[in-house]
């Protein structure tokens, strides 16, 4: 089959690789009809390369048609249309029972000290072959799937794999009071969708970004947007818009590769050129993130407010302003999205109209063969690329 394979920093290629097969009774094989490039995939393209191996198949936002199931999978049949959550979870352990599927005790990557295994996402998360491919082996398939109805196009459902539940959790974790305000830093796919969800739920949304196409797109959807290029002090601008207090809640949808953190950016680049074994140790024990957006979030949220982190962070030695966090009595929630926890809340918005605009959410659609180009324009923010869908 054809699959997108990692060969090195900023080097992904479509190769011919062996077809996946059933290896465990709880496996399924799915023929991929649509898969997406995620902002988190760009971390593999750049910052997290020390944890990658040449030949890794990447991608964690797929959907398709079931081709084959193992004998332990009794709730799926060939021909079923399914979306795969980005994390692999069993559905019956203590953590899954808590709605914490990203901490699944059956698939935890214990040798790395990490949570549930993820599709196509480094040795830290199990090095499981990903979904930017023609076919995908799905472990724990009795639970690691979301059945979706026939009829509507893939664009209606593919975002259940990551974008929609991650954005929904970002809003839920932000704990925005009824009719309250949320400042949303970043208008990539997650920030854009989080803004749409918060607005749909009746909140005042103030979004922040620097990319003209993303700013214009959000404004077309009725979101108030601050162009960070036009303001010397974004937190102060947000306070001026919120009676001098700051936003009730803040969502950081940017994460570890924020602009405006040159020292941490240089440290990430230096770690990336060290031998892999050394670089892994540096990042695991002393890694730092670009924290400019998180610092702004801390200053932009009102006292007693909540910050929700949905952007991925990976540092182990990040300096945080604990005095400010403590003095302002800020609540901080974060983590990978627990996809299946939120599906029942989201599904009615996909099957009864399209209030979140998912069918027009993608900016680019291209065949799998053109995936390297998709990565390049997404990483460089060229050609208005915000969300890229691939069709194997």
Give the pLDDT of residue 370: 98
Give the pLDDT of residue 281: 47
Separation of alpha carbons 184 and 226, rounded Å: 10
Q: How large is the average pLDDT for residues 162-172?
A: 98
Q: Which of 9-13, 64-68, 193-197 has the lowest mean pLDDT?
A: 9-13
Quick check: 259 pLDDT over 80? no
Q: What is the pLDDT of residues 98-127, one digit of tens each?
A: 999 999 999 999 999 999 999 999 899 999
User: What proportion of the chain, given as a percentage, has pLDDT over 90?
Assistant: 82
Higher-confidence residue: 163 or 48? 163
Helix pair 189-200, 212-220: axis angle to 10 deg: 20
8 Å CB contact between 62 and 37:
no
8 Å CB contact between 339 and 167:
no
CA atoms within 13 A on the CB side of 82: 30
Distances (CA, A) of 387 to 123, 170, 241, 309: 25, 18, 30, 20
Helix, strand and coil content of the chain, in percent to the nearest 5, comes to 35, 25, 40
Give the pLDDT of residue 348: 96
Separation of alpha carbons 342 and 87, rounded Å: 14
> Which tokens hold the place of 195?
């803004």
Residues paired with residue 301 on neighbouring β-strands, in sequence order = 247
Q: What is the pLDDT of residues 291-337, one digit of tens each?
A: 889 999 999 999 999 999 998 786 676 788 999 999 999 999 999 99
In three-state form (DSSP H/G/I as H, E/B as E, the rest C), the secondary structure along 145-187 is CEECCCCCCHHHCHHHHCHHHHHHHHHHHHCCCCCCEEEEECC
Give the pLDDT of residue 47: 67
Q: What does the mean pLDDT of the chain come to?
A: 91
Quick check: 289 pLDDT over 70? no
> Which tokens hold the place of 54?
């040449």
CB-based burial, 17-41: b 16+ in 10 Å, e otherwise: beebebeeebbbbbbbbbbbbbbbb
Give the pLDDT of residue 111: 94
Helices (H), the chain: 39-45, 94-97, 163-174, 189-200, 212-220, 234-241, 262-273, 276-286, 292-300, 322-327, 339-346, 348-351, 371-380
Domains of the chain, start order:
2-162+338-391 (3.90.180.10), 167-334 (3.40.50.720)
Give the pLDDT of residue 44: 87
Q: Which of 40-44, 102-106, 232-236 has the lowest mean pLDDT?
A: 40-44
Give the pLDDT of residue 38: 94
What is the β-pairing status of strands 28-37 and 388-391? antiparallel
User: What proportion of the chain, given as a percentage, has pLDDT over 70?
Assistant: 90
Assign 45 a pLDDT band (cuts: 50, 70, 90).
confident
Give the pLDDT of residue 56: 95
Number of helical (H) and strand (E) elements in the chain, helices listed first: 13, 15
Give the pLDDT of residue 269: 45
CA angle in degrees (0–180, nearest 5) for 90-96-100: 125
Give the pLDDT of residue 50: 78
Quick check: 258 pLDDT over 70? no
H/E element, 32: strand 28-37
């Amino acid at each position: 089959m054809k699959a997108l394979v990692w060969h090195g920093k900023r080097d992904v290629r479509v190769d011919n690789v062996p077809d996946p097969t059933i290896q465990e009774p709880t496996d399924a094989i799915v023929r991929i009809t649509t898969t997406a490039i995620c902002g988190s995939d760009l971390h593999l393209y750049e910052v997290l390369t020390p944890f990658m191996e040449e030949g890794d198949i990447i991608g964690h936002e797929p959907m398709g048609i079931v081709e084959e199931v193992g004998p332990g999978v009794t709730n799926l049949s060939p021909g079923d249309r399914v979306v795969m959550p980005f994390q692999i979870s069993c559905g019956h352990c203590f953590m899954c029972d808590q709605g914490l599927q990203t901490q699944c005790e059956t698939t935890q990557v214990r040798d790395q000290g990490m949570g549930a295994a993820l599709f196509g996402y480094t040795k830290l998360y199990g090095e499981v072959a990903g979904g930017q491919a023609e076919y995908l082996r799905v472990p724990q398939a009795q639970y690691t799937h979301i059945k979706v109805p026939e009829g509507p196009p893939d664009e209606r459902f593919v975002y259940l794999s990551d974008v929609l539940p991650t954005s929904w959790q970002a809003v839920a974790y932000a704990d925005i009071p009824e009719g309250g305000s949320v400042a949303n830093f970043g208008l990539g796919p997650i920030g854009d969708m989080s803004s749409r969800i918060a607005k749909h739920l009746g909140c005042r949304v103030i979004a922040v970004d620097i990319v003209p196409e993303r700013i214009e797109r959000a404004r077309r959807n009725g979101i108030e947007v601050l162009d960070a290029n036009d303001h010397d002090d974004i937190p102060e601008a947000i306070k001026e818009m919120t009676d001098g207090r700051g936003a009730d809640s803040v969502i950081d949808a940017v994460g570890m590769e924020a602009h405006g953190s040159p020292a941490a950016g240089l440290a990430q680049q230096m770690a990336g050129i060290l031998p892999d074994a050394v670089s892994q140790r540096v990042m695991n024990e002393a890694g730092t993130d670009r924290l400019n957006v998180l610092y702004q979030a801390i200053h932009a949220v009102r006292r007693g407010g909540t910050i929700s982190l949905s952007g991925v962070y990976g540092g182990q030695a990040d300096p945080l302003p604990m005095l400010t966090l403590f003095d302002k009595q800020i609540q901080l929630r974060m983590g990978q999205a627990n996809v299946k926890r939120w599906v029942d809340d989201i599904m009615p918005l996909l099957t009864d109209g399209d209030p979140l605009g998912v069918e027009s959410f993608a900016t680019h659609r291209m065949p799998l063969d053109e995936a390297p180009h998709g990565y390049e324009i997404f990483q460089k923010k060229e050609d208005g690329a915000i969300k890229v869908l691939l069709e194997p």
